[in-house]
Chain A
Amino acid sequence: MTFKFKTWAKLVIFTILAMFGIGIITVTIVIDPYGELNFVKTKFNNKKFASNYTTGPFLLSEKLKTDKYSLIFGTSRTQLVNSSMIHGDLLNYSTSLYANPSDVYNVLRQFNEIQLRNINTIYYLVDTHVFTDKKSLYEKLNLHSNIDFYRQVFSGLNMKKIHYAISCVRRNLGRYDNYLNEFGENIYLRHKIFNPKSKIDHFRIPSFTKSSIEYLQKIDSFCKKENIKIKYFTPVYNIWYLKKVDLELYRLQFKAFLTVIDKIYDFHLIDDISYDYNNFTGTDHYNTITTAKVMSILESNESSIIINEENIDEKFDTMAIKIREHNGY
């Protein structure tokens, strides 16, 4: 079947426009899987399970214009942190922004005076794998432009968003174990438990990029200049995972951190947590109770877990001995 060029061109253009028009109305406006617009709220889209990496930080940062919050920047290991675990209210950027230091700095430097005044404490999870990104994915994030926000929302119809939209409807109408609230907190209703006999894969950790350490320094200087309290801390690991990692590489990486910041709360191996697999949900992730324990220790400013330039070797040597001495499951 052959068309006239005019008919063919019109068919292509109108089909594409119709497809994307319908897609934007149903996915972006009605289902709204990232909670960007919140125009329609019914039982099929009431809870949200994902957030977008550009619009998510924008929505969280808007809250800081009116109320006081602590902020947490981290990875999947801090997504479960919520306000009940710290003193005061929390905005959790772990799901949307993640923890790449250039992104964190990009967000901080864009805060206006009111937003900066409204920050209680910043918690920053120095999870090593985020210090390997060469370039920030979110460098174009603009926290103060509503136009930019709506541009991101309406130009963000992609496979990922469609997938999340379908999943959003399915989970709202069926069963779900967790959901994201408007503060970026991942609220878990049921937990899975890590089986240490399961195979532990570990990725080869790429080397840090120079720029990521520079950005860490920028974050630290910025917080000092603005008189904002910032606490750096590591994730907690289970002993079975630690047996598989290259501890010497970790030591070098933490030494690199300590060239630009003064101290880190080191949770690598915590006696009360690391030896019990019930505290974990997978190879290197932990559950809400463990998350709460970690935050509680962090809030108490426990000095015994602090590492700095002076004691890092001693701490890592002790950890290495403990790991070596551990037998069986």
Chain B
Amino acid sequence: MLFNSYEYIFFFLPLVYFIYFYLNKRHFTEGSKAFLVVSSLFFYGWWNIAYIPIILLSMIFNYIVGVYISSGKSKNINRFLFAVGIIFNLLLLGYFKYADFLIENINFSLGSNIDYLNIALPLAISFFTFQQIAYLVDTYKNEVQEHDFLNYAIFVTFFPQLIAGPIVHHKEMMPQFASKRNKIIQYKNISLGIFVFSIGLFKKVIIADTFAVWASNGFDKAEFLTFFEAWAVSFSYTFQIYFDFSGYTDMAIGAALLFNIRLPINFNSPYKALNIQDFWRRWHITLSRFLRDYIYIPLGGNRNGDMSTSLNLFATFLLGGIWHGAGWTFILWGMLHAFAVVIHRIYNKLNFSMNKVLAWIITFNFINITWIFFRAEDINSALKVLRGLVGLDGFTLHPYLENRLSFLSLYGIEFKVWLTLFEPKKFILILLISFLMIFIKNSGELQKNFRPNLISLFFVIGLLSYSILNISNYSDFLYFDF
């Protein structure tokens, strides 16, 4: 079920909310938890009921391993169980996500003809697997005290964050689910939840889905892109992915708040970043936290000198790229970011400094260009956009600008119709709004200043009604594919 759908907004969410708090009011605490788990599985199974056994298998297996580890029979047994747990999760993820990619590369390099498995990627498998790996690590480190199955099931399946995060830790969720105060309806959280949800819905439906059409036209359909088209297409995707994913996260945070659960923030105006390290502190924060805590630091972090630190950073970003998808484009994207982080580290060590505006332009454009690899179906598609960006396929402006900029034709710039469905007025308007939104307060900051007054009332009603009325073709969230 999508957050940006009628059935979610008008039926699922209110119904689950009322039944959950009704059960709590009647002191059926365990019943309310069980209800939340079943509802979350229903939410998950709405896409494809065949996914449910996979998540159940993963959840039950990890829970049993976690319980055995925490029972602390002996260090060796714990180490063995921990290894079994991690291998199980990696195999599950590897089988569903990377098997065909592996076969493709074996076939290519050995000239073999192994049949593809053609397995459909179960929704959210990367997210719930990472979350449970973190649980096993925390259990192994003796940082998990509680092993109630129902609580664990809520931790894994809680529908607001099940599909695309934020990736949460067992220890930050369990006290919230256990808190008696959180079993009572709290109107402050409802108001905040609705407020944040409405911002997220607007970001997704009005901004991200508008950019999606242009990005899709440019990446998937065009045979070549001229200079301005290529920039328009790359900006379109850069803003689409941000507003799509941060919109999703806002809706997740908002929905969780209705249940008095605070999810960690996942975005902090990432396109304001002045360097690549800053970007990763602001973008998909909970994934960065996971990669830092469970890959970078265990590899040695920055404890063994510059060379080792650089290698660790490189490995972490490479794995981050692979986590996003099975394809060379994702690997390339991860490597580019790894190089950038390492270069930035060296740059910092040398105590260089840069003008802030220049730093922002470099960082934003680096991110914009690397998203091309992230989005493109293959390397050739990425190269097509890159060729356009540097003008190798000509310079063509939209006829819409012909009257205003006709003098440019003296310099060889033609005015021709762009890709189908490309509306220049709308594009310029949405692009300006998006750039503006980079620099104004983000939803997390707005949430802190939230007051239940007339302005916020009209603001929320306006955002909600306009966004809901624009839900026409339900579109999936980009991060559902990862």
Chain B residues, Cβ within 8 Å of A6: 187
> 1/0 contact trace for A137-177 toward B, CB 8 Å?
10000000000000100111111101000000000000000
Stretch at the interface among B61-69, B114-122, B245-253, B464-472: B464-472
User: Which residues 355-397 in B have Cβ within 8 Å of A in the complex?
Assistant: none
Given known contacts A201-B417, A207-B221, A207-B223, A157 and B469 CB-to-CB distance under 8 angstroms: yes
Closest 7 CB pairs of A and B: A155-B6, A206-B221, A8-B452, A5-B187, A6-B187, A9-B190, A5-B188
> 1/0 contact trace for A203-242 toward B, CB 8 Å?
1101101000000000000000000000000000000000
Is B399's beta carbon under 8 Å from chain A?
yes
> Is B194 a contact partner of A158 (Cβ separation < 8 A)?
no
Given A6-B187, A9-B452, A204-B417; 20 other pairs, CB 8 A cutoff: A2-B453, A3-B454, A5-B188, A5-B190, A5-B191, A5-B452, A8-B187, A8-B453, A12-B457, A20-B465, A134-B216, A201-B417, A203-B417, A203-B419, A204-B222, A206-B217, A206-B222, A206-B419, A206-B420, A207-B221
A71–B217 CA distance with the chains assembled, in angstroms: 30
A and B contact pairs by CB, cutoff 8 A, 17 listed: A2-B453, A8-B452, A8-B456, A9-B187, A9-B194, A12-B194, A16-B468, A20-B10, A20-B468, A134-B221, A155-B6, A155-B10, A201-B399, A203-B419, A204-B418, A206-B222, A206-B419
User: B interface, by DSSP: helix, strand, loop or mixed?
Assistant: helix
Is A15's beta carbon under 8 Å from chain B?
yes
Q: Count B-side interface residues using an 8 Å CB cutoff.
A: 37
Chain A residues, Cβ within 8 Å of B452: 2-5, 7-9
Which residues of A are in contact with B by a Cβ distance under 8 Å? Answer: 1-9, 11-13, 15-16, 19-20, 129, 132, 134, 137, 151, 154-160, 162, 201-204, 206-207, 209
Least CB distance, B313 to chain A, in whole angstroms: 35
Chain A residues, Cβ within 8 Å of B125: none
Is B220's beta carbon under 8 Å from chain A?
yes
A160–B471 CA distance with the chains assembled, in angstroms: 10
User: Which residues 439-482 in B have Cβ within 8 Å of A in the complex?
Assistant: 451-454, 456-457, 460-461, 464-465, 468-473
> Is B7 a contact partner of A1 (Cβ separation < 8 A)?
no
Chain B residues, Cβ within 8 Å of A2: 451-453
> Is A132 a contact partner of B190 (Cβ separation < 8 A)?
no
A1–B216 CA distance with the chains assembled, in angstroms: 45
- Total CB contacts across the A-B interface at under 8 A: 94
Chain A residues, Cβ within 8 Å of B472: 156, 158-160
Q: Which of B10, B220, B464 contacts A134 (CB 8 A)?
A: B220
> 1/0 contact trace for B221-246 toward A, CB 8 Å?
11100000000000000000000000
> 1/0 contact trace for B9-24 toward A, CB 8 Å?
0100000000000000
Chain A residues, Cβ within 8 Å of B221: 132, 134, 206-207, 209
> Is A202 a contact partner of B468 (Cβ separation < 8 A)?
no
Chain B residues, Cβ within 8 Å of A155: 5-7, 10
A206–B359 CA distance with the chains assembled, in angstroms: 37
Least CB distance, A40 to chain B, in whole angstroms: 22
A204–B5 CA distance with the chains assembled, in angstroms: 33
A227–B339 CA distance with the chains assembled, in angstroms: 60
Q: Which of A3, A132, A159, A160 contacts B453 (CB 8 A)?
A: A3
> Is B453 a contact partner of A203 (Cβ separation < 8 A)?
no
